[in-house]
């Protein structure tokens, strides 16, 4: 499986934004809240599962959206089974390295 991603750098810190490929460029709403999965934030570079694992291990923060990427992160024990929230119908997870 492949995912869209973007690495946001601030000094030596890296934030990985990653999403399911079919979500980029779309907006979702639950009435009051609108969640936009933009290419400006989530990127349009394509990464394999192996690359995503490497990016996660080198990031200080990860922002992931979509059923496939969140399931992949859970399956690889990079987030806990209950480590995602649903925002506008989309699974969304954040990882912080302390």
Query: Residue 42's domain spans which residues?
Result: 2-96
Mean predicted confidence (pLDDT) in 78-85: 93
20-70 residue pLDDT tens: 999 999 999 998 899 999 999 999 999 999 999 999 999 999 999 999 999
Tell me, what's the pLDDT at 1?
A: 93
* Count of structural domains within the chain: 1
The per-residue pLDDT for 31 is 86
pTM of the model: 0.92
Residue 62, domain CATH: 3.30.1860.10
Could you please report the per-residue DSSP string of 10-79? ETTEEEEEEEETTTTTEEEESSS-EEEE-HHHH-SEEEEHHHHHHHHHH-SEEEEESHHHHHHHHHTTSS
């Amino acid at each position: 499986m492949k995912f869209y991603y973007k690495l946001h750098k601030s000094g030596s810190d890296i934030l990985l934004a990653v999403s399911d490929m079919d979500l980029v460029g779309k907006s979702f709403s639950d009435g009051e809240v609108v969640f936009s999965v933009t290419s400006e934030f989530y990127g349009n570079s394509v990464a394999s599962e192996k690359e995503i694992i490497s990016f996660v291990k080198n990031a200080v923060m990860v922002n992931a959206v979509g059923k496939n990427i969140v399931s992949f992160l859970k399956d690889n024990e990079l987030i806990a089974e209950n480590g995602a929230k649903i925002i506008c119908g989309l699974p969304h997870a954040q990882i912080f390295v302390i």
